[in-house]
Each structure stands twice: as structure tokens, then as C-alpha cells.
Chains A and B, each alone.
Chain A
Amino acid sequence: MTEAVRIEELCFSHVASGLPTLDQVTLSIPPGEALALIGPSGAGKTTLLTLLDGRLRAWRGRVSVLGDALDPDRAPPRARRADTGFIFQDFALVERASVLRNVLNGRLGRIRPLRALLGRPSKDDLAVARSALADCGIVDLAERRVDSLSGGQRQRVAIARCLSQEPRLILADEPVSNLDPARAAEILSLLTEAARQRGATTVFSSHQPDLARRFARRIVGMRNGRIVFDIPTAELTEDATARVYDDANATVQPRLKAVP
């Protein structure tokens, strides 16, 4: 079986946008893996995940996702974008729409464009959306508007939207850093369990090594756009964590995050 993600000598630098650079990143991820990216702010975690999602271009190197080469000059085809689910730190939900509508939005890459614009959702789409709501424990919130929900509930909606894409690869960019510690563990457990049941590969980034240790089988440490270590979770030592974080704080200010 081919790898879910294969990255060779990936470089990215775009000074004007202020995005962190990536420097000679090489990484391969087998299907079904649960991998955590850890590292300080500015290490390039978000850049790497956005790039794998096909929304960041003009990079150099070779990248293939789910067996197909990624083109650094154009967006991936719709079906491929639907295969790759993305979970955002700030949830990225349509605030004034219902929970169900937001989850159905995850189906938009799977249905014909004209049907997406005109028709009501099909029975199949509704069934997929409802099972995603059930997996995230929010069936009873289906008709609520997103702007009436708490942070933890919002991230559940965002995960349900991602699951309704029926993704084979789930990329989660700091999915729990806007949540309190109890909610954070709950959400990561939900996400990794749903991915495991579906046989999907999961890559999530976190600036909390203890959460990475609990929910990932493999941990990749990044700093200044480079991979510092790539080890099974059991081998993560204080020393390895220190290599990513220590005196990185001297050059990169730790980001303070508000807990909603």
C-alpha cells in the first residue's frame, strides 16, 4: 500500500506573506498513522499542513498525498480536496448557519457543482451528515445556529463537517488550542477515535507535548522550518522536547491564547 503522505526535500519561503518557511523537509506517513507535529509557534506546522491540503502553493520539492503527486502550481482536483479533511484552530464555521448546514457543507466536494447550488441535500448526503453528527455527539444540536454554541461544541461541529467529507487523510491545525484542557483531551480523543474507526490517517499539530503523547503513535518535532526528530511516541523524552522548545523561546515569543 502506498503512503498516505510522502514529502521529499520540501522547501517553502514566502517572505511577503510572513508565513514561516520550510527547509528541506522529508517525511513519509503510512496509511492509518496517527501523527502529531509539535513545536513552537513559527516552526512551520501550519505551513506544512496547509500545503498538504493543497491551499498553499509555489513550494519546491516533491510531495504526494494519498498516492497522487501534489502540483505546486495549481489547486488539487475536487475529489482529492474532498479526500483530505482539514480542521482549523478557529473552527472556520459559518456562524449564522445551522449546525446541520455546516456539516452538509463538508459534502460540497462530493456532489456535482450544479446540484450543490440548486437541489436540496440528497438522502445519502443527509445520512452521511447525520452519522457524522452522531459520532461527534451533537445530534441534538443539528438545528441550532453555530453562533449560539460554545467553543467545544463548535469544534465538534467542525470535526463533523470534516468527517462528512469521508476523508482518507485528516489534517488538524492546532485543533484544541482554543479550548480548555478538559475539552482539549475530549476533542482529541473524539477525533483520533473517529479517524481510527474509518481507517483514516491523522496528522494533528499541537504546542502541548503531553496531548501529543496521549493521542499520537508517532511524534514529529519541528523548529525553524526543519524536522528535529521523528520518533514513536514511546521514545519521546524530556530531552527531545527540550530540543524543540528550549531557547526557541529566546527567538520566538510564545503565543498567548485566549480560552473562550
Chain B
Amino acid sequence: MESRGWGGFATGGLVAGAVLWSLATTDVELSRLFSAGPRIGDFLARMFPPDPSVMTEIIKGSAETLRIAILGTLGAVLLSGPLGVFASETMAPPVVYRPVRTALALIRAIPLILVAMLMVGAVGLGPLPGIIAVAIHATGMLAKFYAEAIDGVARGPIAALESAGAGPLARLRYAIWPQMAPVIARDTIFRFELNLRESLILGIVGAGGIAFYIQSYVRSFQYEKAASVTLAVIAMVLAIEAFNVALRRRFS
């Protein structure tokens, strides 16, 4: 009990210290909060009414974001196929799956926006760095999911086909694949949804897509146009969600 009391005291002290340190070293002028209300009001008023004249830009930007998500997901699927096999306990020995899993965890730890900035530096502006960034970033998660799908397969049917004289490819085709396919499909759809959501912001670092327009309209004070694009982004996210709910029901 004694030590627990001390532990609680120490934790409280640590949290209080962290908050005090942050307050003391950050320039927090509370007076600025009070004048924020009218400014936000002004900002929202300038966004209204949304300017529908940017429809062409919205369609162009949305289509590009969609293409980045589709091609990025395709790249991730192609990379995750072999990497998923290498990361699975049932298909690879420990000397292979352990380092592969560590590498995948490292990839997952890097935020997409950072990967995208690196890729813009490497291949220049446009949708290409966005596609590469999404493919790399998504592989960290998707390859792990694929490995788990492989490891989750029931052994019985594989043994039964081996017993019947089926070769290794026939076992893969008729015992392993039917068990894996729905899991793989569900995971890939889930990752596609995440890719689409995450790639909406890629335009901010010049990696293509609809966020480029939001950023350029805000910078040039064309708030009515920025509002239209923002509404389009919200509509897109809602549409993706509805689409995925329908798809997931199909694969459950």
C-alpha cells in the first residue's frame, strides 16, 4: 500500500510538471482566445456562400485523389503479397519473418505525410510521389494483415488434401485460398478506405490531389472557393464510408 501511494504521488507530480513546463515555455496569450470568436465568425462569413464555379477543379482534384488511392492501394497489395508470405509464421522460418515484421512495424511508425514529403523530394511534385507514399505507408499495415490471414488458416483441410494426394499448389488453391480470400478482401477494402481518407491531405505537401486546391484558395484568400472544395471533401468521405459498409456486408 505504501509503495502504491508513493507511485500515485510520483505520477501526479510528473503530470503536473509536464503541464506546468508546457505552459511556461509556450507563448499562450489568453487574450487572443477572447478575440477569436469574431474572427472565426468573419472567416466563416467569408466562406459563405460556397462558390460553385470551381466545379471543374473539384472534379479534377477528387479524381486525382481517387487515382492516388487506387494506384497506391494496388501498389500496397502487390508489395504485401510477397511480404505477407515472408511475415507469416506458417510460410517462413523465424530468421525471415522476424526481421520482416520489424521492418513493417518501422514503416507503420512513419506518418504518411512524412513519407510523402520524402517522395516529393525524391521524384518531384505531382500525384506520383503521392502514389508511392501511399503504397509504402499502406504496406506496413496490409502485409501484417495478410500474414495474419495466412497464419489464421485452419490446418485440417490442408492435411486432408495432402492425404488425398493433392500437390502443394492444389492445396494452396483449394484449402488455403478459400479460407484466406474473404479475410484478404475485407482487409484490402479497409485499407483502401484509409488510403483514400489519408491521401485527401497529400496535396498540402505537393503530392497531388484535392488538398492542393484548398491550400491554394486559402493562401489567396478565396474562401468561398475553399469552402466548396471542403464540402466536396466531406461528401467524398461520406460516400467512401457508405460504399465500404455495403462492401463489407458482402464479405462478412
Is residue B42 within 8 Å, beta carbon to beta carbon, of the partner chain? no
Residues of A within 8 A of B165 (CB): 78-82, 108-110, 165
Contact pick for B164, options A91, A97, A117, A161, CB 8 Å: A161
Minimal beta-carbon separation of B168 from chain A (angstroms): 9
Is residue B178 within 8 Å, beta carbon to beta carbon, of the partner chain? yes
Whether B179 and A96, one on each chain, are in contact in the complex, defined by CB atoms closer than 8 angstroms, is yes
For the complex, give the distance between the alpha carbons of A105 and B163 in Å: 11
For the complex, give the distance between the alpha carbons of A75 and B159 in Å: 12
Whether B162 and A55, one on each chain, are in contact in the complex, defined by CB atoms closer than 8 angstroms, is yes
Identify which of residues 3-48 in chain A touch chain B, using a CB-to-CB cut-off of 8 Å. none
Whether B161 and A105, one on each chain, are in contact in the complex, defined by CB atoms closer than 8 angstroms, is yes
Residues of B within 8 A of A108 (CB): 161, 164-167, 170, 174
Q: Given the interface contacts A55-B159, A88-B159, A106-B164, does A94 sit within 8 Å of B178 by beta carbon?
A: yes
Contact with B along A136-159 (1 / 0, CB 8 A): 000000000000000000000010
At the interface, is chain B mostly helix, strand, loop or mixed?
helix
For the complex, give the distance between the alpha carbons of A74 and B159 in Å: 15
Contact with A along B155-196 (1 / 0, CB 8 A): 011011111111101100111001100100000000000000
Residues of B within 8 A of A105 (CB): 160-161, 164, 166, 174-175
Q: Given the interface contacts A92-B157, A113-B167, A116-B170, does A81 sit within 8 Å of B162 by beta carbon?
A: yes
Contact pick for A109, options B156, B157, B159, B166, CB 8 Å: B166
Question: Can you spell out 13 A-B residue pairs with CB atoms less than 8 angstroms apart?
Answer: A78-B167, A85-B164, A86-B160, A91-B156, A92-B157, A92-B160, A94-B157, A96-B178, A107-B164, A108-B170, A110-B165, A116-B170, A117-B173
For the complex, give the distance between the alpha carbons of A161 and B169 in Å: 19
Count contacts between A and B, CB distance < 8 Å: 81
Q: For chain A, which range describes its interface: under 10, 10 to 19, 20 to 34, or 35 or more residues?
A: 20 to 34
For the complex, give the distance between the alpha carbons of A86 and B160 in Å: 7
Residues of B within 8 A of A85 (CB): 163-164
At the interface, is chain A mostly helix, strand, loop or mixed?
loop
Minimal beta-carbon separation of A203 from chain B (angstroms): 14
Whether B178 and A97, one on each chain, are in contact in the complex, defined by CB atoms closer than 8 angstroms, is yes
Whether B156 and A92, one on each chain, are in contact in the complex, defined by CB atoms closer than 8 angstroms, is yes
Residues of B within 8 A of A158 (CB): 160
Residues of A within 8 A of B160 (CB): 86, 88, 92-93, 105, 158, 161
Residue of chain B at shortest CB distance from A102: B157
Q: Which 4 residue pairs of A and B lie closest in terms of their CB atoms, listed nearest first?
A: A109-B165, A92-B156, A108-B166, A81-B165
For the complex, give the distance between the alpha carbons of A101 and B182 in Å: 17
Q: Given the interface contacts A94-B178, A97-B178, A105-B175, does A81 sit within 8 Å of B170 by beta carbon?
A: no
For the complex, give the distance between the alpha carbons of A188 and B175 in Å: 26
Is residue A90 within 8 Å, beta carbon to beta carbon, of the partner chain? yes
